[in-house]
Structure 1
Amino acid sequence: MGTINVEIPFVDAAAQNSITEEQAQFFLDNGFLVIRNVIVGEELKLVQSEMQALYEKGAAGVDDNPDFMYGVGVKSGQSIFKRVEYVIDKSDPMKVLLGHPFILRSVEKLQGRNFIATWDSMVLKAPNEGIIVPWHRDAAVPEGCTDTRPIFNVDFYLDEADLQTCLWVIPGSNKWSKEDADKRCKQPGFTTEDAIPVPMQPGDVIFHNIEVLHGSPAGDGNPLRRTVYYEFRPGEIEAEFGPHTLEYLSLKQHLLQDCIERRKNASYAQGETPFNYEPNGAFAIRAPKPPAQYRYAHEVYWRR
């Protein structure tokens, strides 16, 4: 776990249909992958505008809404808006974004055709009050799971992330034992001697494994940084281990299909080759239907 030197591959969504086998292998080995130019042009402006409105709503304070989360500002000591859940429910352009064909083809390459879209959130670093995100893993692979396909987040950057605000990762830490990961996370302060920074531009994306160690330092004079997170899980892992019920998986399949159809009709997505979502076997969709809602609260569908 010493000093590392990793050359990050250049992945250009504007020039490829999906990630390549070599890029997929880099992700599997290192736990993260950077993809440039995923959201561009009219779509980028629209998504930025929608999420700015959501940021301003949360920054103004939202009473008794569990979807809006707050932390303590590093400079003011005041309550600072840091996260909002279920962004797909709150914005039609975020529904369209879930249907992005480059992203879904790449997810399918890594997880297989029965993948499930699970979480959707926006995480923030407020201007001049960037709250530290300590070294952590997002979650653990379910105990007893021998399926080696990765569970991961797709991080859409809506603002530039420089060295003040960007994500830092420890390449390969997705393969560490729980003991080694816990030991690293318990080190005092936000040390980076074994990590690398991942600066980003608006419209860029990071795939990051839920078990790769990552975080970001506290901001001081930092600009606003908005990042939208969509998590994906192989359906077979979800079906066997959870955390969601089988009903949740079916509901989220219909939601994803709806978002793919919405993208086909979006003006800024014309000319794309749409993603064809065809889960099979026990996950096959027998009778497509519109989703009843776009906010399937996780706690309602936890396995007991």
Structure 2
Amino acid sequence: MTTHSTEQNPQTPLPDHFERTPYHLTEEQIRFFDENGYLVLRKMIPQELLQRLQEAGDTWIEDGLHAAEDDLHYRDYVFAQRTNGRVMFRVNYLHNKRQAASLELLGCPQVLAVAESLCGPNFVPTYESMVFKQEGDGEAIPWHQDAVHPRRYRLFNFDLYLDHSRADAGALRVLPGSQRLRQDICALNQAWGWNHPDVQIVEMEPGDVLLHDVMIVHGSEQVEGKDLRRTIYYEFRAAEEVLEDGPWDREWIDRRLRLMPVGLRHYHEAFPNKDQFQWNVTSEFRPRISADEEHELKVAHVVHMQSSFCSSIPEGNA
């Protein structure tokens, strides 16, 4: 693969004095993630929370399909024009859509211990969305890298699968090791199409989690549409990384971190007898707590890091 140079050794170690729990990643798991750019965690999410999220997913889709243009959340429901018509495929900013399950997931120790393992104690929940293919929608997701950055830190997505994802139904394809550099997606497509010799097809079950580095090349080929397939994506980055690389500032970090106490409280209220996550954010980044919870539930991005699709590499720089 033709590549574009970046720094290649992201490290955000967890301080020795922090208590590791059964929910934190092992050194072996972190090593696999760093080498390959992805890691599968089977049956990661408790069944009761998974069921609540599946029900929330149904509601988000239903709300989006019936949202009027003057609806407060109208622009958060994303549609595309397919051969069979206009199709909804994404919901952005889950936390202000009247379904507490998204906040319960944000406060879940199975999620946050992973974020702490890869990003350190000052992890920031940077994005939350649900991406899905409705029954009958088998559209391809072209090869791409989510975001390109200098790789001084780990940036990753926590992908929770709400439904089965099978090889014959457009399961995600990844190219292990491709996360180390910005890739020439156009050249990759031209040389291999979907049949790159390194490709891994990742089949998933409800409750399984895929951790993927934001620079790993991934996508899914076009297939005949199968059953509904929904995935919730939470992206995490270290606060230190955001300050160094952007594209956001300290005020934005503070606002995103204010989601954390809300998520922790919602998880505790829903599952008071389950293990709770001990948030270890340092005093430098501990956020000011707002009394207006509703206002905190959507923190818009305005700008984003550059991703890498075939069409996003300027001519002459590919």
TM-score normalised over the length of structure 2: 0.81
Whole-angstrom CA distance in 1 between matches of 2:238 and 2:211: 15
Q: What is the Cα deviation at residue 85 of structure 1? A: 0.4
- Secondary structure of the residue aligned to 2:273 is coil
Of 36, 44, 57, which residue of structure 2 is paired with 1:38? 44
Identity of aligned residues (%): 32
- Secondary structure of the residue aligned to 1:33 is strand
Q: What is the Cα deviation at residue 165 of structure 1? A: 2.9
Q: What is the aligned length?
A: 279
CA 1:281–1:53: 2 relative to 1, 3 Å: closer
Whole-angstrom CA distance in 2 between matches of 1:182 and 1:52: 36
- Secondary structure of the residue aligned to 1:27 is helix
Of 59, 76, 101, which residue of structure 2 is paired with 1:53? 59
Superposed, which structure 2 residues align to 1:13-24 within 5 Å? Answer: 16-24=22-30
Q: What is the Cα deviation at residue 293 of structure 1? A: 2.4
Partner of 1:230: 234
Partner of 2:222: 218
- Secondary structure of the residue aligned to 1:150 is coil
Q: What is the Cα deviation at residue 260 of structure 1? A: 0.9
Partner of 1:172: 177
Unpaired runs of 5+ in structure 2?
2-20, 306-318
Q: Is the 8 A contact 2:143 2:185 kept in 1?
A: no
Of 148, 158, 177, which residue of structure 2 is paired with 1:140? 148
Partner of 2:313: none
Partner of 2:82: 73
Partner of 2:155: 151
- Secondary structure of the residue aligned to 1:283 is coil
User: What code does the residue aligned with 1:293 have?
Assistant: E
- Secondary structure of the residue aligned to 1:207 is strand
Whole-angstrom CA distance in 2 between matches of 1:237 and 1:42: 34
Whole-angstrom CA distance in 2 between matches of 1:188 and 1:60: 40
Whole-angstrom CA distance in 2 between matches of 1:88 and 1:192: 37
Q: CA RMSD in A?
A: 2.3
Partner of 2:301: 298
Q: What is the Cα deviation at residue 182 of structure 1? A: 5.1
Instruction: Tell me the alpha carbon deviations over residues 255-290 of structure 1, each in whole angstroms, 9 at most, x when there is no partner.
Output: 112101211111xx34332112222153234x4444
Unpaired runs of 5+ in structure 1?
2-14
CA 1:279–1:191: 2 relative to 1, 3 Å: same
Of 104, 128, 137, which residue of structure 2 is paired with 1:129? 137
Q: Is the 8 A contact 1:72 1:131 kept in 2?
A: no
CA 1:30–1:255: 2 relative to 1, 3 Å: same
Whole-angstrom CA distance in 2 between matches of 1:27 and 1:224: 28
- Secondary structure of the residue aligned to 2:296 is coil
Whole-angstrom CA distance in 2 between matches of 1:106 and 1:40: 15
Q: Is the 8 A contact 1:73 1:130 kept in 2?
A: no
Q: What is the Cα deviation at residue 22 of structure 1? A: 0.3
Whole-angstrom CA distance in 2 between matches of 1:81 and 1:248: 29
State yes or no: 1:161 paired with 2:165.
Answer: yes
Q: What is the Cα deviation at residue 192 of structure 1? A: 4.4
Instruction: Tell me the alpha carbon deviations over residues 145-201 of structure 1, each in whole angstroms, 9 at most, x when there is no partner.
Output: 462x2101111100000111311100111013x254553255574334421111101
Of 95, 100, 103, which residue of structure 2 is paired with 1:95? 103
Q: Is the 8 A contact 2:145 2:218 kept in 1?
A: yes
Whole-angstrom CA distance in 1 between matches of 2:148 and 2:62: 33
State yes or no: 1:200 paired with 2:204.
Answer: yes
Partner of 1:10: none
Whole-angstrom CA distance in 1 between matches of 2:190 and 2:232: 27
Instruction: Tell me the alpha carbon deviations over residues 196-226 of structure 1, each in whole angstroms, 9 at most, x when there is no partner.
Output: 1111011111110100000011231311101
TM-score normalised over the length of structure 1: 0.84
User: What code does the residue aligned with 2:267 have?
Assistant: R
Q: Is the 8 A contact 2:105 2:111 kept in 1?
A: no
Whole-angstrom CA distance in 2 between matches of 1:302 and 1:146: 16
Whole-angstrom CA distance in 2 between matches of 1:211 and 1:249: 22
